[in-house]
Amino acid sequence: MTHAEIKSIEDAGRSTMVWSNEVYDSSNQFADIARALIPALLILTAATALLLALL
């Protein structure tokens, strides 16, 4: 690739960027994180119980 081709690709990527207000809406993010952590905690609890049962 030439320098001109790389510059045109970089400029095209910058021109399509959009400012999103959803990124800074913390109320939705905390709920999503909590919903993702609940199953993970259940899996870790079950794995811990199984490991302790082996002892």
For tokens 């993970």, name the residue.
Answer: 40
Give the tokens for residue 51: 């490991």
CB of 34 closer than 8 Å to CB of 26: no
pTM over 0.75: no
How do residues 19-36 score in pLDDT, each as one tens digit?
555 555 555 678 888 888
CB of 22 closer than 8 Å to CB of 28: yes
Chain center to CA of 1: 32
pLDDT at 15 (0 to 100): 55
Burial class (CB in 10 A: 0-12, 13-18, 19+), 14: exposed
